[in-house]
Structure 1
């Protein structure tokens, strides 16, 4: 494992510990979320991404900053917050629970994004020998599949296509 992955895993542990202490769940998604679902590192990652329920947005930000992260003013605050922690980039994006059991990000650029029921479960998976929450396979697949058709989406990258193939295999 290279130094970048070691730093990212350390930040994942620090974020999870800081938020768990306050009983705020945070779900990995993106490349690290997929790796958590698989149980091993599959590739190099540019950053670490977590979902946090919007009702915990401000409190999670305050807790992470108090624990040592630096919040960056780079994202619309109703959508997410980007951070650095010892030169490791990570972010928390915010979702809302819907009355029908699904989830969405109704505020901001991706208000047309919808996630199926069960996307944010309570069962941890294991990453680097430690329990973490990760967005469900169905949730990550829905997220990837919808992205190009979103109002502010963009075309799939090769890694998105590869991730979708892996997620479809996990969904079987």
Structure 2
């Protein structure tokens, strides 16, 4: 395991510990979320991404700042917050629960993104010995599949296509 991956795993542990101690849930998604679902590290990752329920957005920022993360002002605050912790980049994006049990990100550039019921469960998986919440396979697949058709989406990258193939296999 290289130094960058070790640093990202340390930050995942720190974020989970800081938020869990205050009863704030955070779900991994993106490449690290997929690796957690698979149960092994499959590739190098550019960053670490978490979903946090919007009602906990400000509290999560305060908790992470208090624990040692440095928030950046690079993202629209209604959508997400990027941080640096021990020279590792990570972010928290915000979702809202809908009355039909689905989830969305109704504010900001990706307000047309919808996630199916069950996208944010309470059953952790283990990533490198650490129990972490992870966005569901169906939630991550919905994210990837919708992205090119979103108002502010963009075409799939080769790794997105590979990820969708893996997620579809996991879903079956």
Tell me what 2:7 maps to.
Answer: 7
1:132 Cα shift? 0.3
Tell me what 2:59 maps to.
Answer: 59
SS at match of 1:117: coil
String of CA shifts for 1:117-140, please: whole Å, max 9, x gaps: 000000000100111000000000
SS at match of 1:169: helix
Tell me, which stretches of 5 or more residues in structure 1 are unaligned? Answer: none
Tell me, which stretches of 5 or more residues in structure 2 are unaligned? Answer: none
Tell me what 2:154 maps to.
Answer: 154
Across the two proteins, how many residue pairs are aligned to each other?
172
SS at match of 1:111: coil
Q: Show the 5 A alignment for 1:8-87.
A: 8-87=8-87
**TM-score in terms of structure 1 length:** 1.00
Whole-Å Cα distance in 2 between the matches of residues 65 and 94 of structure 1? 17
Whole-Å Cα distance in 2 between the matches of residues 112 and 17 of structure 1? 31
SS at match of 2:108: coil
SS at match of 2:107: coil
The alignment status of 1:115 with 2:83, answered yes or no, reads no
Whole-Å Cα distance in 2 between the matches of residues 137 and 163 of structure 1? 11
